């Protein structure tokens, strides 16, 4: 089985396993106690904090350990907003942040605060000028991920941090995806990370708060972790997390070069092997191991199941794979195709042979899924029959509305229109994306008695 979902959770690094087992014997006692076992545990905790701080690029007393990366984000956002409440209650986030950041923003807004979302370009990157433009006198905090978890695009953190620093606004950076590859450059104020993203054990997050940043921990007070992360520290997991981060950093340069070659192989060959595919994300400013593409006329959940049966573990941002039946907020913000979405995220040590086997299996797998759904062939044309048509796709989920559109576009003459009726949220993203891929003109949407009408003009 080839595991290609390291962006969700990287396999446990051998160094992490060794450190975890060793610290179970040495680090079980309370590090706050003064007896011998407590002092031994305190030495392990302090050493882990120093090692982690060195990797992050901060002082040891600026870094605390949390029960998860999500908890680090929530604590960081809430603490910074509360610490600067006299300034105002305005929060800035990008439209492609991890759900933990967006959920924190929703909670802030529900509590009476204001939130501005900064959009991204089609590659998934923010424009630093857009961040600078929405900074206000009452802005308490800005948030920006270092790299996107779904498409791998790296963000211009240094330039955004520079704009925030000039305005006197702290910047919180979610570095969960990138921290294993290197430090986050720029004058950031707060930073979060999660150990299971770089091969450490799950259940360890980190929160770094620079000296001078106004910060007020929320919830009942606790003497642990400077009052910013209450509860008994999971010392064996913390030690393993720090040890694995140092280990992956030592291997990062060589492994990044190797994985970039493998992901570039996927980026370039998938469109050659599979028709009607859109590769998404920035082609160069990206994390080493992530490549994402979307396939027209494909049910994402079915495709993932078929790839799993073929021996490949991958993930997806397609609405067809979620219980909400809404497309990924990242793909939606980018304005790219969401149906049949596949994210391949290669863990360190991935064999080139596994990537080659994936490229051999993928075309037949996609073709089989399309055939089951009755998708049109890439070269299929239909005789023109009238000036315009209506496609009723109400009650039918992705990718059926787009498949039905593709089947009938040839039934209207050049200049004619097709009106697609759909009540699936994904159609709002996928129909315009299909038009761009197929050279047709998207005219927009109109209210309908049920759902929404999407208008497409045939141009070729």
Shortest CA distance to 76 belongs to which of 176, 168, 190?
A: 190
Shortest CA distance to 72 belongs to which of 155, 212, 179, 150?
A: 179
Among all chains, which residue has been given the structure tokens 């010392």?
235
- For residue 247, how many other CB atoms are within 10 A of its CB? 21
Tokens representing residue 394 in the block: 């109400």
Spot the catalytic one: 55, 143, 320, 398: 320
User: How far, in Å, CA of 330 to CA of 77, rounded?
Assistant: 20
Stretch (H or E) spanning 26: helix 14-26
Orientation of helix 235-273 relative to helix 352-373, angle to 10°: 60
Q: Are strands 90-94 and 114-118 parallel, antiparallel or unpaired?
A: parallel
Q: What is the DSSP letter of 191?
A: E
User: How far, in Å, CA of 452 to CA of 423, rounded?
Assistant: 6
The angle subtended at Cα 186 by Cα 184 and Cα 191, nearest 5°, is 50
Under a CB-based contact definition with an 8 Å cutoff, are residues 346 and 289 in contact? yes
Q: Catalytic residue at 58?
A: no
Q: If you count them, how many residues does the chain have?
A: 460
| Residues identified as active-site | 320
């Amino acid at each position: 089985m080839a595991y290609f979902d390291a962006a969700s959770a990287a396999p446990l690094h051998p160094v992490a396993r060794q450190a975890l087992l060793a610290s179970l014997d040495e680090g079980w006692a309370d590090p706050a106690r003064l007896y011998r076992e407590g002092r031994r545990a305190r030495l392990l905790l302090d050493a882990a904090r120093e090692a982690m701080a060195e990797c992050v690029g901060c002082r040891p007393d600026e870094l605390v350990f949390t029960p998860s990366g999500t908890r680090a984000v929530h604590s960081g956002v809430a603490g910074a907003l509360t610490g600067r409440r006299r300034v105002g209650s305005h929060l800035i986030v990008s439209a492609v942040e991890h759900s933990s950041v967006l959920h924190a923003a929703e909670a802030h807004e529900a509590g009476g605060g204001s939130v501005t979302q900064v959009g991204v370009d089609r590659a998934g990157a923010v424009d630093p000028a857009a961040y600078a433009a929405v900074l206000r006198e009452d802005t308490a905090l800005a948030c920006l991920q270092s790299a996107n978890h779904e498409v791998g695009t790296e963000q211009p953190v240094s330039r955004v941090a520079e704009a925030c620093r000039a305005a006197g606004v702290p910047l919180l950076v979610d570095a969960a995806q990138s921290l294993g590859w290197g430090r986050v450059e720029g004058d950031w104020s707060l930073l979060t990370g999660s150990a299971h993203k770089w091969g450490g054990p799950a259940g360890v997050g980190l929160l770094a708060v620079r000296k001078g940043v106004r910060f007020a921990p929320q919830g009942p007070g606790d003497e642990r972790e400077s009052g910013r992360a209450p509860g008994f520290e999971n010392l064996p997991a913390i030690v393993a997390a720090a040890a694995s981060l140092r280990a992956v950093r030592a291997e990062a340069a060589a492994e990044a070069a190797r994985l970039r070659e493998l992901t570039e192989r996927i980026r370039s060959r998938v469109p050659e092997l599979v028709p009607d595919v859109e590769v998404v994300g920035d082609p160069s400013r990206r994390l080493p191991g992530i490549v994402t593409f979307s396939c027209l006329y494909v049910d994402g959940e079915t495709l993932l199941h078929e790839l799993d049966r073929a021996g490949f573990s991958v993930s997806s941002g397609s609405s067809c794979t979620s219980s909400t039946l809404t497309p990924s907020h990242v793909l939606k913000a980018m304005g790219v195709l969401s149906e049949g979405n596949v994210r391949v995220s290669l863990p360190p040590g991935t064999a080139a042979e596994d990537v080659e086997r994936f490229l051999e299996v993928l075309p037949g797998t996609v073709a089989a899924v399309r055939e089951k759904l009755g998708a049109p062939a890439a070269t299929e044309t239909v005789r023109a029959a009238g000036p315009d048509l209506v496609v009723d796709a109400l009650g039918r989920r992705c990718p059926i509305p787009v498949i039905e559109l593709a089947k009938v576009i040839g039934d209207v003459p050049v200049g004619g229109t097709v009106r697609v009726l759909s009540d699936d949220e994904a159609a709002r993203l996928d129909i315009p994306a299909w038009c761009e891929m197929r050279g047709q003109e998207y005219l927009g949407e109109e209210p309908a008695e049920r759902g929404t009408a999407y208008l497409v003009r045939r141009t070729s």
